[in-house]
Structure formats: C-alpha cells, structure tokens
C-alpha cells in the first residue's frame, strides 16, 4: 500500500467511533457466494488457499464476515482484494473468529452473566423457570440461584443470545472501506494448516524379479475445519523453508477415508522455483475430516535389478573380536531407474513404496516396503524389501595384530576374515559383500578380487551355488 493510502486507512480507522462501529451491519458471506477456490498443498502440513467470492458491498464502511474459511488459517497471512474493481477496497481491521459454537463454549462465554434454568417436575411434567448467574464452567458448571450455590446441570439452561465472537463456522471478519457500492468479486488468499498430502506407491514384481508395474497415489488429508468444493488442486513437492509457528493448534484425526479416484486422473507436473508442482486436471471436492486418494502416475514393465547384500561394519578392523556372527541376515534390495527409457521419467515425491508379488496361485502377496526421498527424473530408486530367508552368512575374524607404526601419531592394524555364504535355494545366487573399511587401508590378500567402490568401501560379488556355499577370505592392513 502506498504511504498516502496507508495513512488514510489508519486515519479512517482511528476516526471511527464505537457508536459508528456498532452501527455498521455485518454482511455475511458463505460458500454460496463462492465463485471458485484453488488449494495448493505443500509438504509439512501447509496449504495456500485462494477463495474467490461474489459479495455485495455498500459504499463507505463495511463489516464483511467471510464464513467457512479454514479453521486453521494463519490470519497474519490473509489478504483480501477486489478482482473486479482493483483498488476499490481499503482494509482497516481483520479479526479471525475460530472459537466455534458448542454447549460447553456457550456456557464458558456466559461466566458472570445471567441465564435461565428450566426444570421439569418428574411427576406432573410442569416446568418452572429460575434466574441464575454462571459462576464457573471449568470441568462442570457452578451456578448461583437466588441465595444458594448449585453445581451440575440442574435442568435446561436457556441463554438470551449467542456472543458475537462465538461462531458456528470459522469466520474472518474484515472492516473495510469501499469506494463504490454494489457487487464485487473478491479474492481472499491465506496460508493454512490442516491440509496435508503424501505420496504412496504400489509396485508388483514379475515372476522373474526382472520388471515391475508401478502406480503412484497422492493421499490428501483435510482437518482444516471446512470443505473446499470443486477446488483446483495443486501439490508442491520439495522442502520449502518455513519459520516455525509459535501458535500451535491441535489437529483432529481424519474421520473418513474417501474412495480412490480413477487412475485416469493422473496429475501433470512442472518445475516451480527449485520444487515441482503437480496439478490435477479437473476440479475435486476436498471434504472436511476426509482422506482422499488421487492417482499420480502409472508405469508398466519397469526394468528392475535385485541384489542380495551382506553389509559389514567398521568396528572390528581396529580390535580383536574373533567370531562376528552366525547365520547373519542378507538384505534384499531392488533398484530401478526413473528414466523415460525405463517407462518412467517423472519426478517422484517422497513417500512409501510397497512391493507385491504373485504366488503360484496368482494371488498378490506383500514382500516389503521402503521409504524414498524426493527423486528427480533420471535418478535411481533403491528399495530395501527385507532379509533373505534362504541365504545366510557366517563371519569371523581369523587373525588380528598390531603392526609397528611409521610414526608415533599413527596406528597400524592387520586383520584377516572368513565369510561363508550359504544358499538353500535351488538356483544360484550372487551376494554382494560390502565392507566399510576405515582409515588408510590396503588389501594384502583375498580369495576373490574386490572393487573399491568408495574411499572407505570394499565390495565383492560372490556367486553361491544352488544348495551350496562359497567362502570369501581376505586380509587387510588399516592405518589411522
């Protein structure tokens, strides 16, 4: 706002007397006035709402009550402007009323005020009415009736009216001045909590574990206290920096799970700043206290590789430990490429990938799940699905000694290891033995040549025959 306009608005606000303020009649606006609504949902329970309504305003001062806004609105982010007549509005004051009407809240607002207590005679059914003063409403009610104090609910309580700051729906009340009268199209935009989304993926492996079919779904959860009918829905994937709120509002759990939308509603995506924006091609209604699923992506016959990995540790390279483990678990991993040549090539938001495979009877069985981070196009997706049942390992340290260091500031250790891999399956398996070797290390002896895949990692690919075993032996020198 320009300095002159700001000064004029402040002066106008200060000039309004309490009597004039009270004389302005409140103009309510409900969802029936809504022309459109757009919701952009970010990670970490944050959404941008743009609510467009057609509202009739009087020339001069107005008190506009925008009902059925989000109950978890961040009021400091609310902006109201006229789309049909830009510059016609001067905002003076805004009040966000989110204390909603309920019997307990109504009683609480009447503490210190007079109510009427209606009692019904149990025999005759006749009603009697007494005046009472509400003294307290904490974990019950305390009333002064005449010259006595009563607790509990002695009968029906009758109130004269509803306090003005107690609303049946979350409401943003705006004091504004309009330069013209008549209907205007207004846009209210604000940030809100209570709207969240997450991605979930379902993958089905083929019989040979060489390919999978992948479907991605977005699950929307609305606990904001209002509905968004026929909303334009967009999702932002990425880690947007936020200043954490000092005000924390408790969110209630979602009450219902909506049915999944048809796969034909897959979303389009585009780059936005350093994030990715997903847009649903059609409007959708986001009901309050509802979880809704919308299709994100679908890909068939995505090439996949499976690996059995025995992951070591670095602690036993600096001390004598002897036996390291018997029947050690071998991890099962699958990996695929997020590329167009692999029938994918779409940025994948972070989420959980659940993998299934059909048994001999054709029934899909769950075989594991893993969580992925935001994965750009042309990156690899690697999932740990569990531990192999039929492939195990026995590992022991066969030798350890400390060698003379080249200087007083260093330590040199030499150690040897034996790893026996066992395969109970009827087909051959290849196990990747991955050892994180610390310090400055040199491989002195080995029964099979290793690959130095990283500065501190040695890796062997050991073929284990069907219903047989294979042994890997190596000796390494480590200098600290």
pLDDT at residue 264 is higher than 80: no
Average pLDDT over residues 172-186: 95
The tens digit of pLDDT for each residue in 332-363 reads 999 999 999 999 998 899 999 999 999 999 99
Residues 6+ apart with CB under 8 A from 168: 100, 101
Q: Of 477 and 264, which is predicted with more confidence?
A: 477
The tens digit of pLDDT for each residue in 135-149 reads 999 888 999 999 999
CA-wise closest residue to 28 among 67, 68, 78: 67
Average pLDDT over all residues of the chain: 88
The percent helix, strand, coil of the chain (3-state, each to 5) is 10, 60, 35
Residue ranges of the chain assigned to CATH 2.60.40 = 305-335+382-479
pLDDT reported for residue 268:
79
pLDDT at residue 188 is higher than 70: yes
CB atoms within 10 A of CB 70: 27
Q: Residue 17: enclosing H or E segment and its boundaries?
A: none
pLDDT at residue 426 is higher than 80: yes
Domain 305-335+382-479, CATH 2.60.40 — does that match?
yes
CA-wise closest residue to 216 among 276, 277, 286, 266: 266
Res. 13 pLDDT band, cuts 50 70 90: very low
Q: HSE-up of 467 (CA within 13 Å, CB side)?
A: 1
The tens digit of pLDDT for each residue in 277-328 reads 889 889 999 999 999 999 999 999 999 999 999 999 999 999 999 889 999 9
Average pLDDT over residues 446-456: 96
Kindly report which listed range (52-56, 84-88, 147-151, 462-466) carries the lowest average pLDDT score: 147-151
Share of the chain above pLDDT 90, in %: 70
- Stated pTM of the model: 0.73
pLDDT reported for residue 103:
87
Q: Of 5 and 213, which is predicted with more confidence?
A: 213
Rounded to whole angstroms, how far apart are CA atoms 219 and 407?
60
pLDDT reported for residue 424:
96
pLDDT at residue 460 is higher than 50: yes
pLDDT reported for residue 285:
94
């Amino acid at each position: 706002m320009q300095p002159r306009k700001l000064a004029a608005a402040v002066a106008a606000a200060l000039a309004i007397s309490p009597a004039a303020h009270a004389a302005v009649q409140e103009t309510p606006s409900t969802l029936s006035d809504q022309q459109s609504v757009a919701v952009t949902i970010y990670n970490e329970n944050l959404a941008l709402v743009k609510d467009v309504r057609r509202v009739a305003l009087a020339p001069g001062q107005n008190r506009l009550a925008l009902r059925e806004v989000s109950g978890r609105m961040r009021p400091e982010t609310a902006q109201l402007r006229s789309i049909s007549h830009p510059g016609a509005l001067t905002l003076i004051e805004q009040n966000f009323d989110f204390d909603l009407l309920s019997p307990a809240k109504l009683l609480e607002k009447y503490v210190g005020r007079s109510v009427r207590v209606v009692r019904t005679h149990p025999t005759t059914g006749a009603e009697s009415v007494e005046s009472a003063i509400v003294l307290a409403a904490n974990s019950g009610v305390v009333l002064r009736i005449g010259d006595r104090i009563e607790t509990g609910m002695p009968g029906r309580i009758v109130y004269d009216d509803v306090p003005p700051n107690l609303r049946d729906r979350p409401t943003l009340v705006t004091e504004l001045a309009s330069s013209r009268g008549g209907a205007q199209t207004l846009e209210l935009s604000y940030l809100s909590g209570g709207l969240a989304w997450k991605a979930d993926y379902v993958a089905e492996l083929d019989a040979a574990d060489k390919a999978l079919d992948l479907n991605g779904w977005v699950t929307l959860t609305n606990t904001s206290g209002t509905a968004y009918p026929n909303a334009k829905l967009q999702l932002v994937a990425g880690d947007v920096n936020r200043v954490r709120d000092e005000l924390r509002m408790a969110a209630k759990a979602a009450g219902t799970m909506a049915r999944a939308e048809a796969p034909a509603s897959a979303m389009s995506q585009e780059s936005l700043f350093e994030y990715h924006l997903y847009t649903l091609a059609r409007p959708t209604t986001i009901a309050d206290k509802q979880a809704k699923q919308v299709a994100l992506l679908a890909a068939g016959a995505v090439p996949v590789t499976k690996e059995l990995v025995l992951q070591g540790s670095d602690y036993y390279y600096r001390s004598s430990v002897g036996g390291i483990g018997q029947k050690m678990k071998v991890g099962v991993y699958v990996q695929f490429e997020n590329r167009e040549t692999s029938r994918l090539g779409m940025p994948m938001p972070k989420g959980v990938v659940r993998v299934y495979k059909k048994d001999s009877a054709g029934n899909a069985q769950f075989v594991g799940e893993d969580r992925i981070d935001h994965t750009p196009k042309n990156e690899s997706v690697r999932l740990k699905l569990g531990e192999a049942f039929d492939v195990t390992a026995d590992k022991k340290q066969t030798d350890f000694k400390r060698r003379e260091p080249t200087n007083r500031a260093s330590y040199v250790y030499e150690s040897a290891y034996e790893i026996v891999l066992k395969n109970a399956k009827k087909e051959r398996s290849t196990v990747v033995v991955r050892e994180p070797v610390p310090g400055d290390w040199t491989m002195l002896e080995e029964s099979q040549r290793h690959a130095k895949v990283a500065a501190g990692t040695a890796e062997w690919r050991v073929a284990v025959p069907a219903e047989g075993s294979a042994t890997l032996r190596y000796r390494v020198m480590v200098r600290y």
